[in-house]
Amino acid sequence: MANAIIEFYQRQFSKEGDPTDFSMLDNVPAMVTMEQNLELCRFPTLEEEVICYDIHNIVLHFFGGASLPKSITHTNLVLLPKKPRVQIFSVLRPIRLSNFINKVISRVIYDRLEKFLPNYISPNQSGFVKGRSIFENILLTQEIVTDIRMRDKPANMVIKLDMTKAYDRVLWKYLMFLQVYKRVKQGDPLSPTFFILSAEVLSRSLNKLFEDNFFIGFGMPKWSDPLNHLAYADDTIIFALAHPPSLSKIMAVLGGYE
């Protein structure tokens, strides 16, 4: 049983080929200023609220580029059933139990990065960005869908995306934060941040379609800004015109992001 479980999760979390085309990243401009970079990379001090004296040196060593020992980075996996009766492995949810020092480091980085996220993340994304509410996108989606029903032409359409195992399939190589093969961990304070940063590539690539003279976007009112998608974490809604060439361009973006 143990070997079968290990084999199942090794297949699930293994790489499906090694991506070499990162051209979509060109759609995301450089936005981090020198001052912001210094703020994100500065050494922690004892004034950080989450830092205690007994772990201060460990955190300093990490920010100085030192590798943490396995006694700190080691993670225990616990499988929790999603349903009362377990018959297949896919109904088991792997929960990672990590050393609290890892979470301290993540929290320090997250607290620094959080205040800059509104500058980096497109307004289309409402999840995990301070000052933004999911309800704004929900209300906007309801208004758009209601407007579609009231129209005879042009023909508009809505595409709903839900990414399977989204967190587990984000590569560090894709994020370019660390040149090692790891996954984004659910429960880590930084995981939602890293995920929406990776999703920003999709968001900006979809928005860049409006610069294409041959792309016809979703029919919005004349007084409204162009809009072709809204997102919350791994849930994305795409608004499109039923125009085959334009739909092909949207599918090309989705294929590249996948």
Summarize the confidence of residues 235-255 as an average pLDDT. Answer: 92
Average pLDDT over residues 230-249: 90
Per-residue model confidence as pLDDT tens digits over 133-173? 888 888 888 888 887 777 666 788 889 987 765 555 555 55
Kindly state whether residue 11 falls inside one of the protein's structural domains: no
Categorize the per-residue pLDDT at 178 as very low, low, confident or very high, splitting at 50, 70 and 90: very low
Q: Measure the CA–CA gap between 257 and 52, rounded to whole angstroms.
A: 41
Is 258 inside any structural domain?
yes
User: 93 — phi, psi (to 5°)?
Assistant: -100, 115
User: Which residues have CB under 8 Å from 235's CB, separation 6+?
Assistant: 160, 161, 162
Confidence of residue 181 (pLDDT cuts 50, 70, 90): very low
173: Cβ contacts below 8 Å, ≥ 6 apart: 19, 179, 181
Six token digits for residue 156: 């508009």
3-state secondary structure labels for all residues of the chain:
CHHHHHHHHHHHHCCCCCCCCCHHHHHCCCCCCHHHHHHHHCCCCCCCCCCCHHHHHHHHHHHCCCCCCHHHHCEEEEEEECCCCCCCHHHEEEEEEECHHHHHHHHHHHHHHHCCHHHHCCCCECCCCCCCCHHHHHHHHHHHHHHHHHCCCCCEEEEEEECCCCHHHCEHHHHCCCCCCCECCCCCCCHHHHHHHHHHHHHHHHHHHHHCCCCCCCCCCCCCCCCCEEEECCEEEEEEECCHHHHHHHHHHHHHHC
Does residue 76 contact residue 12 with C-beta atoms inside 8 Å? no
Number of domains in the chain: 1
Is residue 44's pLDDT more than 80?
no
Whether residue 149 lies inside any domain: the answer is yes
Give the pLDDT score at 252.
94
In a domain, 186, yes or no: yes
Q: What is the pLDDT of residue 27?
A: 85
Percent of all residues in the chain with a pLDDT value above 90, rounded to a whole number: 17
Sign of the CA dihedral running 117, 118, 123, 125: positive
Mean pLDDT across the chain = 80
Range of the domain at 174: 124-258
In this structure, is residue 95 part of a structural domain?
no
Mean pLDDT, residues 111-115: 90
In a domain, 30, yes or no: no
- Position 182 scores a pLDDT of 46
For residue 172, tell me if it sits in a domain: yes
pLDDT of 60 over the 50 cut: yes
Give the model's pLDDT for residue 13. 67
Q: Where does the pLDDT of residue 55 fall: very low under 50, low under 70, confident under 90, or very high at 90 and above?
A: confident
Amino acid at 241: L
* CA 163 and chain centroid, separation: 11
Q: Contact, 230 vs 124, CB < 8 A?
A: yes
Query: Is 20 part of a structural domain of the chain?
Result: no
Instruction: Please determine, for residue 180, whether its predicted confidence score (pLDDT) is greater than 50.
Output: no
